[in-house]
Structure 1
Amino acid sequence: MKNSILKLYVILIAFSLVTFSCADLDVINENAPDATRALANPSDVKALAGGSFRTWHNAIQEYDGLALAMGVMADHFTCSWGNQAMRDMSWEPRINSFNNSLTYSYFGALRFQWQESYSCISSANLALQRLNNGMNFGTDGDENDLVEAFCYLASGVSHGYLGLVFDQANVIAWDADIAGLELMPWSDVIDASLVLLDKAIQICNTSSFTVPLGWVAGQAMTNVELGQLASSYAARILAGSSRTKAHNDNIDWGRVLNYAQDGLTSDFAPELGDAYDWYDMYFIYARYSGWGRTDMRVMNAMNHAYPSRWPSDNVSWNTIDGLDPGPANPADDNRITTDFQYLSSNAFPPDRGYYHYSHYRFRRYDYVTTNTWYGNQPKPSFLAWEVKLLEAEALLRTTGNSTGALAILNDPAGPRKTRGLCADITETDVATVLRYILDEKDIECHLTGAGISFFDMRRTDRLQPSTLLHFPVPATELEISGLPHYTIIAVPDGVNGSAGDWTGWDN
């Protein structure tokens, strides 16, 4: 099995080199680049390092991966179309496992997420290997810290999301004994990702450099902002890692607090489109006309009297008059009108379940696609407000009282007040304040970072019963590694399938 994993890693390294060479190198034969020559040139290795994070970010925010499936599994948005397993993963009740087989129409989503994550890791590792073998970057090595920090960031977030999404994965550091690799449980993969991110943070805190614009899609970032980004991802990954509420209650929330307090102070918003080859097709399809709609659960978080579910028979509304409520009243949260668009009718086939229906689509970032359908403007994938909400939750959990969390939620300069025009939250009950924090993340961070809502619903036991808690290692990788094939079964056991459920404010 270990030899098979070695073979797989070599394939991924080769794939990274081919992808990098075709995109970034001026080679004589573009279809057969000289890998030895490429990796002997510091400028080429630097370019390989600089493209590693983009590889991961594009994959996580991609149509081809699992982002769309996780979105409907969390009732974050809704869509009955079969694409990328959205229909299969959103049946009510949840009845489908993810068919871990090459014969399954949407198996590619599983394989894509896995392979692209390791493609990023292999690129980062190749650069780190050259650096640790004495290669210098820039003038007399003045860019060594930049390359090292960026590669640890890329490898850290890639490992982190493997731990967030899959039940097990390989941990592959730059100096790993490839022949000794074994699949590790998700919790160990999360721990390893934080070690890598801590290294990125430490380098950023003790160095001085400017990140090339092409590495971060046009954003001006120095070592300070890159360190903040690494801290923010560490907070998101650690906070979102638990599969159950019981586990989540006992993670190191003091560590989450430290990461969050050192996190982003401005949004991470890559410029999408062809200028930098950064894309966010998860966002595109989850709110594209005729595709995804915002789930009624999210609308209910802004107006507690608005139905959180579409009636299963399409007529038995839980409104006062028993009728379709029409547009939601924005009096309690102005973002109902600024961020969401009311639509009177639905295009989803009724025979696929009225529970897919919703009156709203997300429109906050429609400006991104004004000129081209796939976007060519900056689009946030990590809001500074998400970091503040992680800080609020960590304060709530570490202090046992709501004072610090409420100070953040009720901050006059925060978007809940400046954009939502919301009244102050006066309740002090810890469970109620936690619910407001999670609701605020669903609203303000809507369709930013892929998987956020899924991770939050999972770790608080709010995914619908039998919703998968994570995905299996792709069958193709199991076969290469000589491991037994398996599929995670959709059962409400609290181990691989949700044993909880969610309720709206109207229930």
Structure 2
Amino acid sequence: MFGFSGCDLQVDNPNQPDKARALASADDVETLIASSYVKVWEIGHYWTNANFAFNHMSSRHTATWGNNGMNDLGREPREPLPNSPSYRWAYVFEGHWGDAYGGLSGASDGISAIDAGLEIGPGGERNGRARAFAQASQAILSCLLALWYDQSFIVDETTDLASLLETVDYNAMASYAMGKLNEAESTARGATFTLEDSWINGNSWSNTELADYLVSWKARCAANLPRTDAEASGANWSQIISDSQNGIRDVVVVGEDRSSDTPWVDDLKRAGTQNGTWHRMHMDWVGMADQSGEYQDWLAQPTEQRLPRKMTFGDDKRFPVGYEDQTLTDPVSPSVAGYGPRARYNNSVIFRPERGTYRQSHYGDARYDEYLLSSWTATFGDMEHMSAKEFDAYIIEGRYRMGDYAGAAEMINVYRGEAGLPPAPSNPTDPVPSNAAGECTPKKRYDVQGRCGNLQDAVWFEHFEQVFNLFGGLEYWHGRRNDILPAGTALHLPIPAADLEVLQRDIYTFGGPAGGGAGNPIPPSIVPGSLDSALERVTYALERLEVQRRAERALEDLVVR
């Protein structure tokens, strides 16, 4: 069997296996199709990929550790992304790519086996469920390739990999992914089934619920695709609003004991929220809520001379009111001065000063402390995957971009009211109201004058607040399409260097002063065949997915670097 090097599906097979080993059963095909969705989960919730580094690049988070490329990719001024096969944290580039094509290979091989006559269950009674779920994985993984990479390959069961393949740009890949989402939704609505509880762990959905989940993915995919504000202005926000209203709006996946080698763990919430190691709030984020003037003074300093500041937050109840240092085992309670309902103050500054004091911060998010306390590896409990707050944010942004400022203000003021803030104005040029002390939230991002923000600033601020560590990339994509990332931040990932070398193409990258582009790919061929050949491919795909999963877990290095 052959495949893209990024899929990690190349297998040395000097001896042709016997018939009994080569032929996978119908149950194996179904298992392979179910396993293809695990790659969606890994892309959105694991850390052996770009998630941590790009969340920091959004300036919503901050850290200076070398792990996950956070130190290298978070420096300012921005530098070119170190897209090299020898880069220590090369999985920043390779993780999403390999997971996407591993899942696409499994889902496509499963559909090929069904198309070749395989019957799953008596008389093929489970074929409809298997096909719908495989198509769902194909669609979502294709969407994620469009969101993360500048270009990628379209691969499904119809792809002739024996011929020369060309990459397509992110817009073409997104268009293809939206078509696949529509196809998968139609397949799901046209069948009757219930998903196995373990396929999206803890969710034994009906076919209608799976279809509604795909509607939500249409909203997430379309809203987050644009690379710039200009591109976002051309998005179909009317459709995004409709999909945000009509899909499943809350999805929770159940975590399991990691000692069983389960894939159902959320590294964003397990490690990406640890105030004592991997996470603090970036000053450019928390500074939008500051009322003390410390953020503006911080901005006024040369970047390399900026130091972490203690701030005050006025009426916003989500932030702490004092400077009591807390530990993870302390209760999250508004009655404790160092805690707000979502944010906490930390007296210690843990990040290495020689890597930039401008990246240090006293403040961190506390909303997932309960999950962190569930066990030392934090694998138990509910794990958010989609949230109504995320989809409200798309509706609010869509209304704003379409000129429905009153509608945007009406929705955003629900969240502002819950936080103790006065209503934002529906006139987009008016500043948000100040209290009797002259305090207003949010302030304008990056504004040394400390001016009160307007409705658009409030939209940006609440969006960042509501999608914290929900799904990898959301904060970065939000900053990208609104032109509020730090200058020089790469707008997407390049094809991984290791794959470019296999394809004998020039290595290129983005970010800082870098430029360049990629040539035409020449992937190895896969020869299509009969049902027996398709099942043989399924057997090897299952083996390689298991090897890849174990290798990914072995890569997890929790020692800070």
Match status 1:50 vs 2:34: yes
Match status 1:281 vs 2:267: yes
One-letter amino acid matched to 1:452: L
DSSP-derived class of the 1:381 partner:
strand
One-letter amino acid matched to 1:210: T
> Which residues of 2 match residues 159-174 of structure 1 at below 5 A?
159-174=142-157
Match status 1:387 vs 2:370: no
Counterpart among 461, 486, 503 of residue 439 in structure 1: 461
Match status 1:137 vs 2:135: no
- Structure-1 separation of matches of 2:369 and 2:12: 36
For residues 218-276 of structure 1, give each alpha carbon's deviation from its aligned partner in whole angstroms, at most 9, with x where no partner exists: 13422233222212222112111111111111122222223212222323344254365
- Structure-1 separation of matches of 2:170 and 2:43: 19
> Which residues of 2 match residues 174-193 of structure 1 at below 5 A?
174-178=157-161, 179-193=163-177
DSSP-derived class of the 2:344 partner:
strand
DSSP-derived class of the 2:463 partner:
helix
For residues 65-94 of structure 1, give each alpha carbon's deviation from its aligned partner in whole angstroms, at most 9, with x where no partner exists: 000110111101000111121111111221
Checking the alignment, whether the CA contact within 8 Å between 1:266 and 1:383 is kept in structure 2 is yes
Counterpart among 167, 177, 182 of residue 198 in structure 1: 182
CA gap of 1:467–1:33, structure 2 versus 1, over 3 A, is farther
Report the counterpart of residue 128 of structure 1 in structure 2. Answer: 111
TM-score, scaled to structure 2: 0.75
* Runs of at least 5 residues in structure 1 that lack an aligned partner in the other structure: 1-5, 19-31, 497-507
One-letter amino acid matched to 2:37: F
Using the aligned pairs only, state the percent identity.
23
Alpha-carbon shift at residue 357 of structure 1 (Å): 1.2
Report the counterpart of residue 538 of structure 2 in structure 1. Answer: none
Checking the alignment, whether the CA contact within 8 Å between 2:291 and 2:314 is kept in structure 1 is no
* Rg (Cα) greater in structure: 2
Checking the alignment, whether the CA contact within 8 Å between 2:269 and 2:368 is kept in structure 1 is no
For residues 341-392 of structure 1, give each alpha carbon's deviation from its aligned partner in whole angstroms, at most 9, with x where no partner exists: 2112201122221211112122211222222324211111221221122122
Report the counterpart of residue 96 of structure 2 in structure 1. Answer: 113
Question: Superposition RMSD on alpha carbons, in Å?
Answer: 3.3
DSSP-derived class of the 2:386 partner:
coil
Report the counterpart of residue 359 of structure 1 in structure 2. Answer: 362
CA gap of 1:344–1:160, structure 2 versus 1, over 3 A, is same
Report the counterpart of residue 296 of structure 1 in structure 2. Answer: 283
DSSP-derived class of the 2:381 partner:
coil
Checking the alignment, whether the CA contact within 8 Å between 2:39 and 2:99 is kept in structure 1 is yes
DSSP-derived class of the 2:29 partner:
helix
Alpha-carbon shift at residue 103 of structure 1 (Å): 2.2
For residues 298-324 of structure 1, give each alpha carbon's deviation from its aligned partner in whole angstroms, at most 9, with x where no partner exists: 324445667557565799999xxxx94
Match status 1:490 vs 2:473: no
Q: Indicate the structure whose relative CO is greater, using CA pairs within 8 Å and at least 6 residues apart.
A: 2
Counterpart among 350, 353, 365 of residue 350 in structure 1: 353
CA gap of 1:238–1:270, structure 2 versus 1, over 3 A, is farther
Report the counterpart of residue 425 of structure 2 in structure 1. Answer: 426
DSSP-derived class of the 1:466 partner:
coil
CA gap of 1:273–1:422, structure 2 versus 1, over 3 A, is farther
* Runs of at least 5 residues in structure 2 that lack an aligned partner in the other structure: 321-339, 431-453, 519-561
Aligned length: 467
- Structure-2 separation of matches of 1:149 and 1:330: 50
**Higher helix proportion (structure 1 or 2):** 1
CA gap of 1:38–1:397, structure 2 versus 1, over 3 A, is farther
Report the counterpart of residue 25 of structure 1 in structure 2. Answer: none
> Which residues of 2 match residues 55-454 of structure 1 at below 5 A?
55-94=39-78, 96-178=79-161, 179-274=163-258, 276-288=262-274, 289-302=276-289, 307-308=294-295, 310=298, 312=301, 324-326=309-311, 328-329=312-313, 331-334=315-318, 337-370=340-373, 371-398=375-402, 400-411=403-414, 417-418=417-418, 420-429=419-428, 432-454=454-476
